[in-house]
Amino acid sequence: MPIIHHRIKELRAAVKPYRSQQRVALVPTMGNLHDGHLELVRLAKQHADIVIVSIFVNPTQFGVGEDFDSYPRTLDDDVAKLATVEADYVFAPSIDEMYPVLPPPTLIRAGTITDQLCGQSRPGHFDGVGIVVSKLFNIIQPDIAIFGQKDYQQLAIIKQLVRDLSYPIDIVTAPIVRAVDGLALSSRNQYLSSAERKIAPVLHQELQCLAQQFVDRKHIEQGSDILIAEAGKRITAAGFVIDYLEVKTDQLESLLNNDTAESQTEAQDLIILVAAALGRARLLDNQLVTVNQ
Ligand code: PAF
């Protein structure tokens, strides 16, 4: 069983002896763990000797009217699942432990990267992610930290944070884990009714369909907008309310610069990103595309 710590001081004392000789990995989570999270732990174990999983539903990254209160808190189940993948430590602090003053007067601003995608519909969300991840980095001082590709904009923002604040931490990207029907695993999938759950894989199917078209550069040059609009119509017809469906070049710089596929004539690989609500659940997904030259 992993050892659980709720206090910063205790966790620091536990991790300190490892720091000089062994590699320490952090897997940050908000709990309610599923197979996708367990894959993050398995990946962490390939890169490090000691794996610490943080479980903290972070209030500063939820907006007014979002699901902070109802977000599922399942610590006992989570710890049991983490035992099956041999995580070493769980850090499960209280809100008071993480935020002696709430909201914290010291802010991390992710900047213009948040003017797009999820940042547009969730103002302040990534500033909240930035501060909690900074705190976790400072508390645990890991050698590596694992983040999932599903939250692609979050991943870009964490890479920006590491670059700008000179954290000596390698960020490792974990591929998206999917159910057999293609739905990307997410704690928020449990908000889906059984009818909605049957519809939900449409998101991945449409991304795959777009990806197949974008493999051929000709289709991009002919106008990715039309193909995206058509896919958007099909997603809406299936019952989703689309927040965004966009194509970007798969580079942190292009997200930072807000580039579109058309603005990169020598474009490298692409990423198609979608966020859409189905009933109560806001679902995210993305698909990388290797474009034929
Ligand atoms: O991706 C998440 O679960 C959260 O945004 C994170 C990185 C654990 C920060 O609260």
- Report DSSP letters for 120-143, one per residue: HHSTTHHHHHHHHHHHHHHHH--S
32 C-beta closer than 6 A to ligand 1: no
pLDDT tens column, 33-67: 999 999 999 999 999 999 999 999 999 999 999 99
151 C-beta closer than 6 A to ligand 1: yes
Average pLDDT for 186-197: 97
Q: Does 215 have pLDDT greater than 90?
A: no
- Based on the residue annotation, tell me whether 37 is a catalytic residue of this protein: yes
Q: Can you tell me which atom of ligand 1 is nearest the CA of 61?
A: 10
Query: 3-class SS at 104?
Result: coil
Shortest-distance Cα residue to atom 3 of ligand 1: 29
Query: 3-class SS at 200?
Result: coil
- Check whether the bond before 59 is cis (ω within 30° of 0): no
Residue to mutate, 151, 153, 185, 284, ligand 1, most ligand atoms under 8 Å from C-beta: 151
Report the separation in Å between the CA atom of 216 and the middle of ligand 1, taken as the mean of its atom positions.
Answer: 35
The per-residue pLDDT for 257 is 58
Residue 161 vs residue 255, higher pLDDT: 161
Tokens 């890479």 identify what position?
159
Q: Does 281 have pLDDT greater than 50?
A: yes
Looking at every residue in the chain, the average pLDDT score rounds to 93
d(CA 238, CA 223): 24
The per-residue pLDDT for 267 is 45
Query: 3-class SS at 277?
Result: strand
132 C-beta closer than 6 A to ligand 1: yes
Do residues 117 and 286 lie in contact, with contact meaning Cβ atoms separated by under 8 Å? Answer: no
30 C-beta closer than 6 A to ligand 1: yes
61 C-beta closer than 6 A to ligand 1: yes
Question: Quick one: which H or E segment has residue 52?
Answer: strand 50-55
d(CA 152, CA 1): 31
Structural domains in the chain, sorted by start: 3-174 (3.40.50.620), 187-290 (3.30.1300.10)
Radius of gyration from C-alpha coordinates of the chain: 19
Q: Can you tell me which atom of ligand 1 is nearest the CA of 148?
A: 1
Report the separation in Å between the CA atom of 219 and the middle of ligand 1, taken as the mean of its atom positions.
Answer: 36
211 CB neighbour count, 10 Å cutoff: 19
128 C-beta closer than 6 A to ligand 1: no
Name every residue whose Cβ is closer than 8 Å to that of residue 12 and which is 6 or more positions away in sequence.
Answer: 139, 140
Percent share of the chain, pLDDT over 70? 92
Range with lowest mean pLDDT among 145-149, 220-224, 238-242, 287-291:
220-224
Pairing relationship of beta strands 270-278 and 281-289 according to DSSP bridges: antiparallel
Name every residue whose Cβ is closer than 8 Å to that of residue 158 and which is 6 or more positions away in sequence.
Answer: 129, 133, 145, 147, 171
187 C-beta closer than 6 A to ligand 1: no
**pTM score, whole prediction:** 0.93
29 C-beta closer than 6 A to ligand 1: yes
* Catalytic residue, candidates 5, 6, 34, 37: 37
176 C-beta closer than 6 A to ligand 1: no
The per-residue pLDDT for 255 is 61
Tokens 């109802």 identify what position?
70
Average pLDDT for 68-85: 97
Average pLDDT for 62-73: 95
Q: Can you tell me which atom of ligand 1 is nearest the CA of 54?
A: 8
Report the separation in Å between the CA atom of 28 and the middle of ligand 1, taken as the mean of its atom positions.
Answer: 6
266 CB neighbour count, 10 Å cutoff: 6
d(CA 40, CA 206): 26
Q: Can you tell me which atom of ligand 1 is nearest the CA of 28?
A: 8
| Confidence at 253, pLDDT banded by 50, 70, 90 | low
Q: Does 210 have pLDDT greater than 50?
A: yes
Shortest-distance Cα residue to atom 6 of ligand 1: 29
pLDDT tens column, 113-145: 999 999 999 999 999 999 999 999 999 999 999
Tokens 């367990």 identify what position?
38
The per-residue pLDDT for 265 is 45
